[in-house]
Amino acid sequence: MTESALTDEERALIIAIVSTTGHYDADALQAELARALVSHGTIWVCDVQLPDSTPVFDCPDGPFPARTFVSNGINYQGEIIIWITRGHLSGLEYAWVTNEPPTRWPRPDELEVHPA
């Protein structure tokens, strides 16, 4: 698997989700996203590699504490899950539920975020 930087779409998605909660440090998040390297297990499941630094997220390991539903305006398309490990972004997943896989990451305006 090759590693690459987060795309603009992936970065916008992460910011749109975490900005709805108080479980993060905004300045540290921007710095972390700039340094993040992503490897794709599949197109819609990404492992994120980061150098050790100050924790960004004030939440336990596991899914970020928000449910993020994807809709095309009418129909439920799936969920976006951000994974956290030791206070850092460790994964990004698009859990789609449609017959056909998505062709792109959803835009922030296609999200319905419910902080936990």
Q: Calculate mean pLDDT across residues 34-51.
A: 88
Q: What is the pLDDT of residue 95?
A: 96
102-113 pLDDT tens trace: 999 999 999 999
Predicted TM-score (pTM) of the model is: 0.91
Enclosing domain of residue 89:
3-115
- Whether the CB-CB separation of 110 and 71 falls below 8 Å is answered with yes
Q: What is the domain count for the chain?
A: 1
With vertex at residue 10, the alpha carbon angle to CA 8 and CA 11, rounded to the nearest 5 degrees, is: 65
Residues 6+ apart with CB under 8 A from 38: 3, 4, 5, 6, 10, 46, 47, 48, 49, 92
54-107 pLDDT tens trace: 789 989 999 999 999 998 777 899 999 999 999 999 999 999 999 999 999 999
Query: What ranges in 3-69 are assigned the alpha helix state H?
Result: 8-18, 26-35
